[in-house]
């Protein structure tokens, strides 16, 4: 009887201790996460304060000090006088066009490899995966020579094609797991109802893959928006340059106006940061969905 009582009392004694340990563990975890989040946010706060100062305040005031009179005119100056509006619009439409082209082509390839039976599908998939191991810098001279021969130097199409080619492998890799997990019964039912392959792909498969497509879209958008080397190599005209290269030109031209430089950098960061916050949940959902293979 004493042994039974001790056995019955053991959970009651260890229960509060276990709960206390879990609370302490969660508390330490939250503290670490708050510190990491603060470390990520501090550079943005510093850049915001930096963009609202003049040269004298930049060099004489502490980095995180708020200027007495914030100079919002720095943003107006870079937008109107620094040609940033042109660079910004170029970044937007080139990013969107490249994103749509990459996601659509990757969906075609993944559908053909995973849902259709044909010889050489594994070999083709291997070729795309090899593309992930090719350094970008090793392709600059061959690509520039190719675009020069076909007349695409200093043309946005050269940048769009380069973005699509280099983003296809990672996009296909993310889509693969999700396509393997799609139930084949849906396709069989569509075929029995007389649905063609093209109609089945656009009306059934694409809507079913919306979550993972949003993941690939945000990843492609971040890469395309921040890309520098292709635009700097293939584009020479000012009216075709994107924001990343435009920032470089602006810094070279206005080397003494540090507040305007900070405003330019802030403008280049805000759109992609806002898009990431809006679609961050989609990234987690899409990666989790793509990691399951049926």
d(CA 164, CA 37): 32
pLDDT along the chain (294 residues), means of 10: 48 63 86 89 89 84 83 86 87 94 95 88 90 89 94 94 94 90 84 85 88 87 91 90 79 68 85 78 61 48
The residue with tokens 């007495």 is 68
What length is written for the chain?
A: 294
Q: Are 79 and 250 in contact (CB under 8 A)?
A: no
| pLDDT for residue 204 | 87
| pLDDT for residue 229 | 92
d(CA 35, CA 89): 36
Q: Which residues of 3-32 are buried (b: 16+ CB within 10 A; e: fewer)?
A: eeeeeeeeeeeeeeeeeeeeeeeeeeeeee
What phi-psi label fits residue 201: left (phi over 0), alpha (psi between -120 and 50 degrees) or beta? alpha
Tokens of 227: 């890309």
d(CA 151, CA 149): 6
Tokens of 175: 């889509």
| pLDDT for residue 249 | 64
What phi-psi label fits residue 54: left (phi over 0), alpha (psi between -120 and 50 degrees) or beta? beta
CB neighbour list of residue 39: distance below 8 Å, 6 or more residues apart: none
- Closest alpha carbon to 225 in 44, 98, 83: 98
d(CA 57, CA 74): 14
| pLDDT for residue 142 | 93
């Amino acid at each position: 009887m004493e042994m039974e009582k001790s056995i019955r009392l053991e959970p009651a004694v260890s229960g509060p201790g276990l709960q206390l340990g879990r609370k302490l563990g969660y508390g330490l975890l939250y503290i670490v996460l708050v510190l990491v989040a603060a470390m990520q946010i501090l550079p943005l706060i510093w850049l915001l304060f930096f963009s609202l100062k003049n040269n004298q305040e930049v060099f004489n005031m502490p980095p995180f000090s708020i200027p007495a009179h914030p100079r919002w005119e720095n943003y107006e100056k870079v937008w109107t006088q620094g040609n940033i509006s042109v660079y910004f619009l170029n970044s937007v439409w080139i990013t969107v066009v490249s994103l749509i082209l990459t996601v659509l082509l990757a969906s075609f390839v993944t559908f053909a490899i995973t849902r259709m039976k044909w010889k050489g599908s594994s070999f083709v998939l291997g070729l795309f995966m090899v593309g992930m191991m090719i350094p970008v810098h090793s392709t600059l001279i061959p690509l520039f020579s190719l675009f020069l021969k076909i007349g695409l130097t200093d043309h946005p199409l050269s940048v769009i094609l380069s973005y699509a080619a280099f983003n296809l492998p990672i996009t296909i890799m993310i889509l693969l797991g999700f396509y393997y997990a799609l139930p084949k019964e849906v396709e069989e039912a569509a075929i029995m109802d007389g649905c063609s392959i093209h109609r089945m792909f656009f009306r059934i498969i694409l809507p079913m893959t919306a979550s993972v497509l949003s993941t690939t879209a945000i990843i492609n958008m971040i890469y395309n928006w921040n890309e520098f080397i292709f635009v700097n190599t293939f584009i020479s005209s000012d009216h075709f340059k994107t924001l990343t290269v435009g920032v470089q030109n602006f810094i070279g031209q206005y080397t003494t106006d540090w507040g305007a430089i900070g405003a330019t950098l802030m403008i280049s960061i805000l759109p992609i940061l806002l898009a990431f916050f809006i679609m961050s949940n989609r990234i987690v959902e899409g990666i989790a969905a793509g990691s399951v293979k049926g």
